Structure 1
Amino acid sequence: MVVKNADTLTQGHFRDPTFDDVKAAALARGGFVHDMLNHVAAFLPAPSDSATARNLVVSFDNLSAIRDPRRMPWEANFLLGQSWSILGIMGRINDWYRHEDVWDLFDVLRREKFFERFDHVAMYGASMGGYGALTFAPAAPGCTVLAFAPQSTLDPELVPFEKRYRYGRKQGNWGGRYTDAADGVRAAKRAYILYDPMERYDRMHVERLDGPNVTTLKLPYLGHKIPLQLKRMGILKSLAVPALQGNLDEAAFHRLFRARRTSLPWMVGFLDRCLEKGHHHAGLALSEKLMENESNWKLRKQHRALQEAVAQTRSTPPKPSDAAE
């Protein structure tokens, strides 16, 4: 469906039942659900008597959302719990929002001043959703963006280093509008980009995203699935709320991130990376220290694996070239 004006944002027929829940929730709140070829957009306004009803978060799906049999916007429970209005952009396929239907939707919403109804607009997403949050920021100039481990684009001419997501690259149309997050981020008043600098490709994408309005925050050893790790650490909400409101400062971020030192998921993730990257001696030393105060089967398993890796290293004879040196 080509969107020509706001009147064409319909509640019409849906081709599958996976969006029944979001359709019911949106209509019950007086919002809309717009069905497109590869995507669905759902507007869930907050109750009008809520003090935060005029705060809008545009939420973009990540790759795993497509597997949910009962769809709601990404992080809907958290956002609704804050009594914020939500515009959820949900995909039937993981094409990084590279279809003209989605571009037309955002063009119409901007032209008809939909975003200007709100006192504050934030774009929110992780990975593919982070790409969407950054790339569509020009539809709401002056918005806030919170993006976890985003891609900047999958256009092979712009990011020849990106070897992941071959399916998404083939699915999407990488010409046309809203293509490059490095361009889109300039429209934001404030953009928070959180990533693990140990993830090579994530780091290379973030290096393309710069400007005086951009705050990059490093979360080493959390991997690519950062929101999940922050949730397990119990700090996702405390971090996301001020970021989406545009007032997260780096000192507050670092205070929150200290929680990793007592977070079992972070410890496990860190030791996993030590095993993966070959930092066996450092990982073994840390695991021994951690086990002085923490008894957990995952730590014990990793400790044994690191012991075996170190023993294997010691028992492996040097290569002839190494011996010659």
Structure 2
Amino acid sequence: MRDLDDSGWLDRIEDLGELEGYFEPLGQSHAALFADRGPVLLVSFETRATIRARTDDQLPLGFALAEAADHSSLTLIATEESWFRDPAVYAYFDRLVDEAFFEDFDRVVFYGAGSCGYAAAAYSVAAPGATVVTLAPQATLDARLAGWDDRFSRKRRLDFVSRYGYAPDMLDGAGQGYVIFDPRQSLDAMHAALMARPQITLLPCRGLGARVETALYEMDVLEPLITHACAGSLDEATFWRLYRARRNALRYLRGLTNTLAQMHRTFLEALACRNVVARLGGPRFRNRLTVLEAELEAQGQPLPKALHERV
């Protein structure tokens, strides 16, 4: 669908909704795509730009993952970064609650990242007992509570006070929740701290950077993460087991070695580069290792032989 403009793409999504369940515009800037399949429901919040940039098929992530597992899906789509703060969206979830929509499913999972992570947490209150998975979400942009976050100044005019407003409070009814973030991204870490609740597990992942969803997607962690959530088998131990995939993710490894370089930790950077070269190869890491080894030799601190080189 890459040859389509945004209007044509949305028409295709509407056709998909009519085939699978329904497609419903929600005001001028949002829409809902429902696919009626199995007794597990994945509710995802996504922006048009993110959907169209992710894969060639340009299908919403939640829709695609649910389809592969024969789960039902409800995808809320925003035409821009809106945090889904729209009376039309409030009214839609009010209607779902009135119709006892979520009670028709054995398990409900809410998912979103960033502004969409905020929405996943905020609207999860409509389905008490749901599992909520959020990546680097904002708790609110209300200046009284998060005036320290200066990244979204143009969005301060949005109403974060009325319906479905303060995401941490909306999580009180969740069965289990997971907030994944990079603690080195200080603003993301501050929002995550606001999300802390007895049933909410904070998962700080150093080195993910600001684009947590992209990083986990490229590590091939995002899909199994959501799959486990939908199966009811996600817990902290499962996440950390999945997250070991970072050891083979070149973007993550580049970020790690760049951080060590910025900290002037030459010895540790050299060890990291040598480890990557031994396991994965890569000319960038090999060339950098050559430079670092020369620097360490000049300093009288040569790298010790690797274990496989020792007699």
TM-score (ref. length: structure 1): 0.79
Deviations 1:74-110 (A, max 9, x none): 4432221111111111111211111111111111111
SS of structure 2 residue aligned to 1:133: helix
Residues 24 and 307 of structure 1: CA distance in aligned 2, closer, same or farther (over 3 Å): farther
1:112 positional shift:
1.4
Structure 2: segments with no counterpart, 5+ residues:
1-5, 297-311
Aligned AA (2:138):
Q
Deviations 1:226-278 (A, max 9, x none): 23222322332222211234431222222222222233332122223345x54
2:132/2:174 contact within 8 Å kept? yes
Tell me the distance in 2 between the aligned counterparts of 1:205 and 1:132: 14
Aligned position for 2:185: 199
Deviations 1:272-295 (A, max 9, x none): 3345x5455343442244334443
Aligned position for 1:56: 41
Aligned AA (1:94):
E
Tell me the distance in 2 between the aligned counterparts of 1:247 and 1:66: 26
Alignment of 1:104-123 (within 5 A): 104-123=91-110
1:62/1:128 contact within 8 Å kept? no
Tell me the distance in 2 between the aligned counterparts of 1:159 and 1:197: 17
Residues 293 and 119 of structure 1: CA distance in aligned 2, closer, same or farther (over 3 Å): closer
1:62/1:126 contact within 8 Å kept? no
1:58 positional shift:
0.9
Q: Is the counterpart of residue 269 in structure 1 residue 255 in structure 2? A: yes
Aligned AA (1:23):
E
Aligned AA (1:39):
H
Aligned position for 1:320: none
Alignment of 1:1-325 (within 5 A): 16-46=7-37, 53-62=38-47, 64-65=49-50, 72-170=59-157, 172-275=158-261, 278-281=263-266, 282-300=268-286
1:303 positional shift:
5.5
1:66/1:94 contact within 8 Å kept? no
1:22 positional shift:
1.5
Aligned AA (1:186):
D
Aligned AA (1:147):
T
Structure 1: segments with no counterpart, 5+ residues:
1-14, 47-52, 311-325
Tell me the distance in 1 between the aligned counterparts of 2:265 and 2:250: 19
1:177 positional shift:
0.8
SS of structure 2 residue aligned to 1:31: strand
Residues 120 and 287 of structure 1: CA distance in aligned 2, closer, same or farther (over 3 Å): same
Deviations 1:212-237 (A, max 9, x none): 21111222111122232223223322
Aligned position for 2:301: none
Measured on the aligned residues, the alpha-carbon RMSD in Å equals: 2.8
Identify the structure with the greater helix proportion. 2
1:45 positional shift:
1.4
2:62/2:73 contact within 8 Å kept? no
1:91/1:97 contact within 8 Å kept? yes
1:202 positional shift:
0.9
SS of structure 1 residue aligned to 2:144: coil
1:66/1:91 contact within 8 Å kept? no
1:309 positional shift:
11
1:124 positional shift:
0.6
1:95/1:169 contact within 8 Å kept? no
Aligned AA (1:153):
T
Tell me the distance in 1 between the aligned counterparts of 2:189 and 2:294: 31
Tell me the distance in 2 between the aligned counterparts of 1:117 and 1:180: 27
TM-score (ref. length: structure 2): 0.82
2:270/2:289 contact within 8 Å kept? yes
